[in-house]
Structure 1
């Protein structure tokens, strides 16, 4: 999972400030296509200058929600407000919104600067101002030397930046991006993610991006709404979504996860103790969970929070499992171990390769101990 870039603190968390007014307010919006419910009573607030991600798989409703923000679809029920104005009946061209499509939709017969200038010409902006704004935008996306080229003479990443410049040159208050990096290869996609964040911070435009790529959402956004079957499963910062998922769906959708089924045996204000046959041990979590004793739950533990050792750990047996290493994947920076526990369950463990070495201290068919700290587990009821 790629790290999240450090964002310059304009207002890091306006959603926590009761004095802040949402720039985009979605109130109980539902969209039906015949009998199919694409978006189901979604309510959401997005604040000025946010880089907000709608994350979900195919059919989750994220693109339909984006198209309703743009005005290409109308809600069946509910309301959408942008900057305090009800968008009901307002066509796309009268909204303070611009949209960058996945296909980029560049005009092949036009040069880069002509593509970027197209919207300004449609709005009858004076020629001198068009030249100035286009030059400024091409400099920002680092395409000034390519101004006279046509789209077919550019790389995929350069075409993506032309489409971004064309979307931003009209200075929208809200920019909607539909899978903007889907056509790029992995290295270029990673580079462009950081470029998008930097451009968004320089311009102060509110970005709403639709993506199915969890790493992309985690890297770029200030907050994420995870969508599933037309509803929002959870909204939070990348850290909150990853470290504190509120359901099995969110935990399994974001990154890799190990799930242990169990039954609550002890509940206190500062901890909960869970008996788990799958793990073959008691699971101790150092935070209280408001559930009665004997409640069936799942405990989620991320692979990187589990330590492997050939030697028995100095513990009381809690959060400690035993198993055999069945598979190893060496990825350079990390190694992935698949360990079959004595209970038959397979657990995924990720270990950083801190030392430069060709031999591995733990290899196939080794008997190992798996341990994790009390704060590593998250108790899930759903």
Structure 2
């Protein structure tokens, strides 16, 4: 079984008003994972905005271990926030329209000068899933073979219906905001590692991007670790949904690798159709129709989501995760995505009620600080963020 891990970006919020607070520096001063038994390799990091903090799990081998890591990271971040009268919330966009503060690092300052309002408005929180690959060549082969299925993960993780104090009409508005970056979104079929490297080099030579960290493909090779990084998902309201998305991603990676080894070519889907599928998933979540990843024609969301599970079922079954995945998907379809769950308190308590509900769900499980990682500390999957 491949190791996998996740990065979650969380909002730092005022528990009374729901507004984001620029307290990342204060939180980071308290978040010393080396003090947590067995977790010198886990981590926390700054993000683009001081109103958010990123948690990073260690690599894990199974769903149960990953879920513990996710809950622990959330709990530790919330504990640090409480010390400053704040809380953390797993919301992919802030319901309010705050005046944000860019993290004072030279790289981010350069980005703000270069990209203007795109940076000033970019308070979004994503979920990035890392899955181990044996080589960069395998990683590119996997990217070529999962690209047509990633929009389904946008729908399942949708958790951003509000933006700048208003209902957006989208289930994942973060997807819309995020795709303003010049290299964000679905990529072409590369076919080989040399082509991938050549495309990245040409992007940098264009002068539009100023470093490789800005190659924000939906799926990319991580610069620092032997992983494929899948970056399409909203940060999920519930830790259980985060772990489910990660399980599905790992199964997709393994299925794609087997296809590569068996000589199965990637589906030749035009990139523009992938953009349509992502837009539809962002707009509708699991409440309407998605584009079927086989035909790219509209189909009921339930059918498309269940088809994804069926596609990776052989791998899930081998890994003992098939029933877990089916029940997790059914839970989202029946209980709603994070976006649907946000709308319920909004009808009674407005935007402040949305944030209050998110704070309580984010911190639903307490820290389990004595559980050790099941892989060596050298294999941390952190620091592949914005």
TM-score, normalised with respect to structure 2: 0.23
Higher strand share: 1
When Rg is computed on C-alpha atoms for both structures, the one with the higher figure is 1
The structure with the greater share of residues assigned to helix is: 2
**Greater length-normalized contact order (CA 8 Å, ≥ 6 residues apart):** 2
